[in-house]
Amino acid sequence: MKDRWALLGLGAWLMGSVIMIVVATRNFRLVDELLQSSPNAQFQSFVQRSGLTPTRDLLRYLSSELNREYFQHWNLAQLALGASALWLLPRRSPERGARRALAVALALVIAMSVVLAPRIVAVGRSLDFVPHEPAPPALRQFWVLHVSYTVIELVKLGLLALAAFWLARRPAQSLSETTPVPGLTPSQEST
């Protein structure tokens, strides 16, 4: 039963990771979409009064701060999900590959949380409200960090998918071994 709970936690970890990727990319696209074609007349009036560039900078700053907050909380949630899933998996041989994949994925999350995320936040904040034409020197460092984080995130997703595959395809124990049927003897259950 614990391995089913581990699989549930693993599914939540996978789905949460996919949702975070979608939300993070969508936040920035939405800024440009709203500036180009928001149906809200008051918003369009505000943009005209404030100016397109300052409004865009402000909205992109807000998106950046939201993403920073989301990722900080998500990294903590991943640590809890990963540790729980790993703890729930028995140390028996059928789950050994899944345990290893989960352990590596959890180590990647720790590395991303401790090493990459704080650097991305610091460099990203140094670029808020800074013109990007010409490109400031920190912009290159930001993109190297961002691409590194993305690659590690994709590797983590692959490991989680592999662990889920191993757990889901594992031969299930027969019902007679896991859940007795009331009123039936073990020999009647197997027929």
pLDDT digits (tens), the chain, 191 positions: 777 788 888 999 999 999 999 999 899 999 999 999 999 999 999 999 999 999 999 999 999 999 999 999 999 999 999 999 888 887 765 678 888 999 999 999 999 999 999 999 999 999 999 888 899 999 999 999 999 999 999 999 999 999 998 888 765 543 234 445 556 555 554 44
CB 17 within 8 A of CB 153: yes
Provide the number of structural domains found in the chain.
Answer: 1
Place of tokens 């369009």: 44
Q: What is the pTM of this model?
A: 0.80
The answer to whether residue 79 sits within a structural domain is yes
- For 115, the token pair is 């090493």
Using alpha carbons only, how large is the chain's radius of gyration in Å? 23
Domain that holds residue 156: 2-171
CB 97 within 8 A of CB 166: yes
CB 98 within 8 A of CB 120: no
The answer to whether residue 39 sits within a structural domain is yes
The answer to whether residue 190 sits within a structural domain is no
The answer to whether residue 191 sits within a structural domain is no
Place of tokens 């071994």: 177
The answer to whether residue 118 sits within a structural domain is yes
pLDDT for 7: 85
pLDDT for 177: 43
How far apart are alpha carbons 152 and 99 in whole angstroms?
19
pLDDT for 183: 61
Place of tokens 């995320």: 117
The answer to whether residue 97 sits within a structural domain is yes
pLDDT for 5: 83
